[in-house]
């Protein structure tokens, strides 16, 4: 990982702590802290040294390991393999300006304007996307939770995928 300024590094550690807790791979805050420290973030110990933060990470870990969330993750992985993956080949020819990428925990749609990174929303079957775009000033920006789908991923139709493509292919002026 490239060198980060201290404040950006702390923000990154906080975000990663939440992501790790949501992954379902950690029992509690201490396991999350150890994972961060093993990645070279020694300051995770002091940053997570707060009872409220630890309680919140424990709560998230518990939900992430619940049978409902475990089932949702498995269903999402199956949906990606059985619906999205085959659809990519078809959509590549219909939308040559859009590039489709399968990710470890979702997929992305990328155009010359934007990238829409799509994941399963934690503790639901909805999809949430993060928008990456280049503004008129030439700088790259990221908007987390830019779009949340109104329906569950397992109820998706081709039209729903096309609506995501339109979001990825629209020019922004911020």
Query: Residue 2's pLDDT is what?
Result: 52
Query: Is 173's pLDDT higher than 80?
Result: no
**Residues 91-113 pLDDT 10s:** 888 999 899 999 888 999 999 88
Are 106 and 119 within 8 A, CB to CB? yes
Q: Check residues 155 and 92 and name the one with the higher pLDDT.
A: 155
Query: Is 78's pLDDT higher than 80?
Result: yes
**Residues 6-38 pLDDT 10s:** 888 999 999 999 999 999 999 999 999 999 999
Query: Residue 104's pLDDT is what?
Result: 81
d(CA 132, CA 142): 4
Over range 41-69, report the average pLDDT. 97
Q: Check residues 144 and 31 and name the one with the higher pLDDT.
A: 31
Burial 118-137 (b: 16+ CB within 10 A, else e): bbbbbeebebbbbbbbeeee
Q: What is the pTM of this model?
A: 0.85
d(CA 142, CA 139): 10
d(CA 94, CA 103): 21
Share of the chain above pLDDT 90, in %: 75
């Amino acid at each position: 990982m490239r060198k980060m300024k201290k404040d950006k590094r702390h923000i990154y550690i906080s975000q990663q702590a939440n992501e790790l807790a949501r992954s379902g791979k950690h029992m509690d805050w201490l396991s999350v802290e150890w994972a961060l420290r093993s990645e070279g973030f020694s300051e995770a110990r002091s940053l997570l040294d707060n009872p409220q933060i630890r309680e919140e990470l424990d709560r998230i870990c518990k939900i992430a390991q619940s049978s409902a969330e475990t089932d949702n993750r498995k269903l999402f992985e199956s949906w990606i393999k059985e619906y999205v993956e085959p659809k990519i080949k078809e959509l590549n020819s219909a939308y040559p300006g859009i590039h489709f990428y399968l990710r470890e925990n979702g997929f992305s749609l990328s155009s010359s304007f934007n990238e829409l990174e799509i994941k399963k929303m934690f503790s639901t079957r909805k999809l949430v996307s993060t928008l990456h775009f280049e503004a008129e000033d030439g700088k790259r920006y990221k908007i987390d939770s830019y779009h949340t789908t109104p329906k569950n991923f397992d109820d998706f139709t081709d039209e729903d995928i096309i609506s995501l493509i339109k979001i990825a292919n629209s020019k922004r002026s911020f």
